[in-house]
Amino acid sequence: MCTQVNEASFPGTTKGTNTDDIDVVDRVELDMGRLCMNDLYSDVEFLVEDHRLPAHRNILAVRSEYFSAMLYGDMAESKQREIRLNVPVDAFKKILGYIYTGTLPLSKLDVDQILDLLNLVHFFGLQNVEAAIEKNLQQNASLSNICKILNAAHRYSMNGLRKNCLNFMDCKASDVLQHASFAMLCKESLEEVLERDTFYAPEVEIFQAVCKWRALFPSEDIKTVISHIRLPLMSFQELLRVVRPTGIFDLDQIMDAMDQIEARENLPHRSVVLRGENVYKVIRNCQSDYTIFKISKVSLINCISLTVSVGGKWAVHFSHNMEHMYSVGTYDMKPNVRRDINIEKAFARYIIVQTFNQNKIDAEVIVKYK
């Protein structure tokens, strides 16, 4: 995806909007670009790593409130010809290029370079560039960089980017857990991922990934992180052979989880979020006139769409394990007319529909979370 920051594309800027105007924007950009990091007329010099970068105080001050305060305020740098900055030189050169020309070709940078740039952009308060970088990162998120991007979204309070990262990770939960970069999540990012009901993967895999994270960050307080591990979603064997030897959970916590597994009530399910999935009958019981529909995974749903071939009264239930069934309600259905039944957020693996009509009937179910 090609992305370039260009100030002419932002509200409040115009370029050739009237045929009577003289369009000299391109020429101005070219002339300003020649001044960038040029000794000509320069009155300040930045020492960055082992580079000396000449610049012009008035241009920097007009384009950035940060530089205005530094170069014309009460800071010591306002009286200095040479100013040392402890920032990455490549990123700083790109910032200077943007300040002088108003353009920044993000499409030529990889994600690591963009994240280095984001740090300076945020520091210098260049909001237009920060918005363009956020859009670029959303478009270029991948399995190999999603954890880095989520960390950055947390660090700079980029809530839209954070939400997109979390949704991406939900969709590829098992792959994310197996990728080496998962262990590099900051603690805040890790906890936010683990606490989501929609981060759907085998709980033992989640636990093992947390163990790898702990090995890299031994000084971090692990208590709040492991509070998001859902022990009752593991098997007895996983609890005894994988969890217990680590010593992360005490025996009482493991025994409580086993009791909850055995009771099979109020399990803290993780689930996929269904955007719309057709589910077809798997069991037809002619004596009691009910049909069971099976969803591919335990899923988070809040809408059941029902279509029946014969009108009359129909009862609808859902279950996550077929041991406990929860009633949705009884509805007057018209033949071959789909009805959307909205429910409170629920975890379900099975949808059970029951008819009070003795004739042979067919039904179709679509479940989704909207």
- What are the structural domains of the chain? 5-15+22-140 (3.30.710.10), 166-263 (1.25.40.420), 272-368 (2.60.120.260)
Predicted local distance difference test score (pLDDT) of residue 295: 87
Predicted local distance difference test score (pLDDT) of residue 60: 93
Nearest-angstrom CA–CA distance, 325 and 303: 17
Predicted local distance difference test score (pLDDT) of residue 330: 94
Predicted local distance difference test score (pLDDT) of residue 273: 73
Between helices 65-72 and 111-124, what is the axis angle to 10°? 50
Could you tell me the mean pLDDT of each successive run of 10 residues in the chain, 370 residues long? Answer: 58 49 60 84 92 94 90 85 92 93 89 92 89 93 96 95 95 94 95 94 96 94 95 96 96 95 83 69 60 86 89 90 86 93 90 78 84
Q: Please list, residue by residue across 197-225, b when 16 or more beta carbons sit within 10 angstroms of its beta carbon and e when fewer do.
A: bbbbbbbbebbbbbbebbeebeeeebeeb
Predicted local distance difference test score (pLDDT) of residue 362: 79
Predicted local distance difference test score (pLDDT) of residue 53: 95
Predicted local distance difference test score (pLDDT) of residue 359: 62
Predicted local distance difference test score (pLDDT) of residue 356: 77
Predicted local distance difference test score (pLDDT) of residue 102: 87
